[in-house]
Amino acid sequence: FQWILATPVQFIIGYRFYRGAYHSVRGGGANMDVLIALGTSAAYFYSIYNLFNMVHEYYFEASAVIITLIVLGKLFEAIAKGKTSEAIKKLMGLQPKTARVIRDDMEVDIDIDDLLIGDIIIVRPGEKVPVDGMIVEGSSALDESMITGESIPVDKKVGDQVIGATINKFGAFKFKATKIGKDTVLSQIIRLVEDAQGSKAPVQKLADKISGIFVPIVLVIALVTFLIFYFLGDFNTGLINAVAILVIACPCALGLATPTAIMVGTGKGAENGILIKSGEHLEGAHKMDAIIFDKTGTITKGEPEVTDVEALKGFDENELLRVAGSVEKTSEHPLGQAIVGYAEAQLVMLKDAESFAAVPGKGLKAKFEGKDVLIGNRKLMNDGDLDLTGIEEKISTLEEQGKTAMLIAVDGRLAGIIAVADQIKKTSLAAIKELQGMGLQVYMITGDNERTAKAIASQVGIDNVLADVLPEHKASKVEELKSQGRHVGMVGDGINDAPALAAADVGFAIGTGTDVAMEAADITLMRGDLSGVVTAIRLSHRTMKTIKQNLFWAFFYNSVGIPFAALGFLNPMI
């Protein structure tokens, strides 16, 4: 029975390990397949030897059971890895297969792969948005929870961006396709998660190095054990004990300890709207002891509103708004857009400026109706040799209220002040408190003057304020903290944050921000609130805790098991 049945079954089942061992050795590495192949081969050939010599001590059952248990372990591993990839499978299943487009003034359903940039697509209530685009007609509320993790439907109107795979809850609308295929947000998320799950964290490199030393040592211990018993005249015991050592010490748990945890961590992150570029960054987040937040668009909503308009002698409010609004029409800065919006709401007629030049971190210079116009902060006014003595007190009062005072000068004369305030995001205070409770030093960085910056920072409980920082100097502030031996995180959303995000040990980009910031960052938060930063750091701590537990138990049972196996207290099957 053993000769006819057990032998072929053993070879059929064992083939996978023999092949694995061969490729492992050829590749210059050593893994569990080598140990299993050696152990089972020794048992098998010794069984054949005994069979032909009429010695009735066969080990078919030991080798067959060992292989069966190892295959069962591989099955459990495959199931575990399959579960960790569920996030990607869910994401892949989100995108609809077809889209309803307008072609030649007719509505037609086409395959999503046939869509072109610029196509006008119709989405009715209850349908999924096929690709990324911008609404050109109609309005609705979209469920974006599958992408951003935001549970509340988001209102959308003409000019707003829509994300592929999100669900249209109420009204019908038309939108123009701006990103298709691999360029859509969903495709980029899938690619990021796949890359992250296949990456190695630094702690895994340590485990790999240990495995490379561990395997040869185990082989030597097994050989020495066999030789000791062999020279003591007990060949059978020597063989059994040597095989038991090889089997107990196969470093499968050591090899799986880190990658499986990384796969789970990055997958869980994707489910919560947190995209982690690699295992290295997932590990790095738990080491952070300082974190810097950009102010505008990160701590605040990035949607400032005009709160005060004060015209100086020789100007009235309408004229001040007309000049400032007309000049700021060309600007894309949120403060400038706030002034334009306010002027239009006051029914002020705006014109185009003849020339326009932005001065980073200070404001802008323009030519309007033949006059030289400056709009910006104190630094810009000082550059223009303007005396602020008479209005300094007013500026200080506005700044103490957390407002940004925009000074306007026309032909070398101060014309007035327009104060703009940005609202704090609802989640900012709670998120910053949680981070401080986790032991992190929290900083706020901004181009605002110190008085305004401190007023905003006090509203969210931040004591460390980096004010008057020009965009090009943000990265140097990050480097300054790193030089003090700190592990620094940076959170931002704008183009000017990209160098600082890249310079930080871990860069967090708010997903509602620019593509440049997201590209430079290590972790992207699809939602615009700061609770995602807290979740990402907690996820990092949890993942690293799991990895360390995995490595501990892998070393522990090997360390305990090898001496027992060498002394004959562990049968290979056990």
* Residues labelled catalytic: 294
∠ CA 291-292-296, rounded to 5°: 145
d(C-alpha 551, C-alpha 562), whole Å: 17
Work out the angle between the directed axes of helices 317-328 and 334-345 (0-180°, nearest 10).
Answer: 130
Structural tokens at position 117:
């940039």
Report which of 381, 387, 341 is spatially closest to residue 364, judged by C-alpha positions. Answer: 381
The dihedral sign for the CA sequence 507, 511, 514, 516? positive
Burial call 174-213: b when 16+ CB within 10 Å, e when fewer? bbebbbbeeebbbbbbbebbeebbebbbebbeebbeebee
State the Rg of the chain over Cα.
Answer: 33
Contact 295, 404 (CB under 8 A): no
70, amino acid identity? I
Q: Which contiguous run of DSSP H or E holds residue 98?
A: strand 98-103
DSSP state of 3: I
Q: State which amino acid sits at residue 200.
A: K
User: Cα dihedral sign for 130, 134, 138, 142?
Assistant: positive
* Alpha carbons 173 and 234: distance in angstroms, whole number: 84
Q: State the Cα–Cα distance between residues 138 and 129, nearest whole angstrom.
A: 14
Task: Render 189-212 in DSSP notation, one character per residue.
Answer: HHHHHHHHHT---HHHHHHHHHHH
Q: Where is 177: in which H helix or E strand?
A: strand 173-179
The single-letter code of the amino acid at 107 is: E
Distance CA(384)–CA(197), nearest Å, equals: 55
Cβ(429)–Cβ(457) under 8 Å? no
Task: Report the alpha-carbon distance of residue 70 to residue 446 in Å, rounded.
Answer: 58
The alpha helices in 198-276, defined as continuous H runs, are 202-231, 235-248, 252-271
444 Rama sector, left if φ>0, alpha if ψ -120 to 50, beta otherwise:
beta
Q: Supply the DSSP string of 340-395, one letter for each residue.
A: HHHHHHTTPPP---SEEEEETTTEEEEEETTEEEEEE-HHHHHHTT---GGGHHHH
Token pair, residue 271, equals: 């489910």
Task: Give dist(CA 499, CA 294) in Å, integer.
Answer: 12
Among 123, 211, 106, 201, which residue's Cα sits nearest to residue 167?
Answer: 123
